[in-house]
Amino acid sequence: MRSWSAPPLTSTARDSIGPAPALMLYDARTGCLEEASPRDDARLYVCGITPYDATHLGHAATYVTFDLVVRAWREAGHSVRYVQNVTDVDDPLLERAAATGQEWSHLAQRETQRFREDMSALSVIPPDVFAGAVESIPVIIDLIERLQTNGAVYEVGGDMYFSVTADPSFGELSRLGRADMLRLSAENGGDPERPGKRDPLDCLVWQQQRPGEPGWDSPFGRGRPGWHVECAAIATHHLGFDFDLQGGGSDLVFPHHEMSAAESRVAKPGTVFAHAYAHQGMVGYSGEKMSKSVGNLVLVSRLRSDGVDPRAIRLALLARHYRDDWEWTDEALETATSRLDLWSQAVRRGGGEPRPTVDRIRAAVAADLDAPAALAAVDAWARDTQPPIPGAAELVATTVEASLGITLDLG
Ligand code: 5CA
Ligand code: ZN
């Protein structure tokens, strides 16, 4: 489907001062800091929205985090291929549409459009492929057929399940005990209690059409795809069965990322799916994880319509390290607004020696996306009262835009 318009990126700091250091990221699978893309062409898959409600700040934090990855790779000289899905048919979407008397596809289209507008406003670089589940059904069917050929799917009451025991590496990402896996599976759309399954953890890959629900023809009957196989299929179709990085929020580690990886490895034995996995910590509000089902949402679109500068929203998100769980507060936004003022005034006034600041920004981002340290480096430059050096403000502003996605007006 159509992506969104790219933010301004007139020049990169790379053009004037050479490539940034290689991006090192904490890999959730190994628990180690790893070079995120050792190859020239860096390939990223990020789990996209389920469009049944508007983008909240938790989603925004996730997409801004992976936008930093894209920017860091570009600045380090990689070419980037970025794929993101839209879960435009799934239980929560169908339930919300039914509860509110809307056509499910209209709801999905409307919220996907609102998401595009929010992402544009936040200067998030669009993915090269923005793929909906519905338009990807043929690709998903292909993957299920591969699983079937490899003996890893079976039927229960007309629905098709993936057998987790088919993947010898199943569990290596989350490293959870079985009790935790069963609990998380039940809490995240799985059905461990369903009779007839070979293993309670086995996940649905194709669900037979239910009365009143949409369905598509397939070799397994008319129905719709399961959630995990959607991402396994979209990622591998557009990026290959071995790619660099799988991203999303930490709520997706199990079962979602574990299952998609297992399905992909079984579909093409000898491959690994993603070489590394990175997860955004959960952003909360009023004491709970911000979520559409809890309803404690701070919406990007709401803040924007209240007149908040989207750059301040982005700066508020960047002020927290991506791996931390944290709570959104009004003060976070006030601090970000003051910071934006400080930086804007400094680039208009001009400033001192830029190179140490530029190097600190790039080094901070390369060190597991330490955005708070990058912001502190810009703060220090902006507060410094040295006599202005020609071109200093331009170089700092270019780096702030290229690496952090904040465009400052040079006046
Ligand atoms: N469509 C699936 C992924 S394939 C999904 O999880 N959709 S979502 O709309 O629920 O979430 C979209 C993205 O935002 C996911 O990567 C999810 O992990 C992330 N996310 C959701 N809630 C939060 C939160 N409170 N804080 C940080 N990230 C979040
Ligand atoms: Zn996903």
Query: Residue 15 has what pLDDT?
Result: 83
Is the C-alpha dihedral spanning 61, 62, 65, 67 positive or negative? negative
Query: Residue 10 has what pLDDT?
Result: 58
Residue numbers in the chain where pLDDT is lower than 70 = 9-11
Judge if 162 and 267 occupy the same domain.
Answer: yes
234 lines ligand 1 (CB under 6 A): no
Residue 61 lies in a domain: yes
Cβ neighbours of 41 (radius 10 Å): 12
Query: Residue 11 has what pLDDT?
Result: 64
Query: Residue 39 has what pLDDT?
Result: 87
Which has the closest alpha carbon to 142: 258, 269, 243, 267?
267
Cβ neighbours of 56 (radius 10 Å): 23
* Ligand 1 atom at minimum distance from 92 CA: 10
174 lines ligand 1 (CB under 6 A): no
Judge if 349 and 254 occupy the same domain.
Answer: no
Judge if 263 and 351 occupy the same domain.
Answer: no
* Ligand 1 atom at minimum distance from 62 CA: 28
Residue 262 lies in a domain: yes
248: CA distance to ligand 1 center in Å?
Answer: 7
Query: Residue 288 has what pLDDT?
Result: 84
Hey, which of 1, 46, 49 would you mutate to test ligand 1's pocket, going by the most ligand atoms within 8 Å of its Cβ?
Answer: 49
Pull the structure tokens for residue 248.
């999303």
Range of the domain at 338: 308-404
| Count of structural domains within the chain | 2
Judge if 316 and 284 occupy the same domain.
Answer: no
Query: Residue 227 has what pLDDT?
Result: 97
Q: Which CATH number covers residue 389?
A: 1.20.120.640
pLDDT of 200-218, one tens digit each? Answer: 999 999 999 999 999 999 9
CA distances from 231 to 131, 248, 271 (A): 10, 11, 16
What's the CA gap between 397 and 348, in Å, rounded?
A: 10
pTM of the model: 0.97
Which has the closest alpha carbon to 376: 402, 405, 343?
343
Query: Residue 200 has what pLDDT?
Result: 98
Q: Which ligand is nearest to the CA of 90?
A: 1
Judge if 64 and 140 occupy the same domain.
Answer: yes
Query: Residue 411 has what pLDDT?
Result: 78
Strand-by-strand arrangement of the 273-280 sheet? 129-132, 79-86, 41-46, 242-249, 273-280
* Ligand 1 atom at minimum distance from 249 CA: 18
Residue 256 lies in a domain: yes
Judge if 45 and 190 occupy the same domain.
Answer: yes
Query: Residue 5 has what pLDDT?
Result: 87
Judge if 102 and 158 occupy the same domain.
Answer: yes
Residue 296 lies in a domain: no
159 lines ligand 1 (CB under 6 A): no
Phi and psi at residue 45, to the nearest 5°: -120, 130
Sort strands 283-285 and 273-280 into parallel, antiparallel or unpaired: unpaired
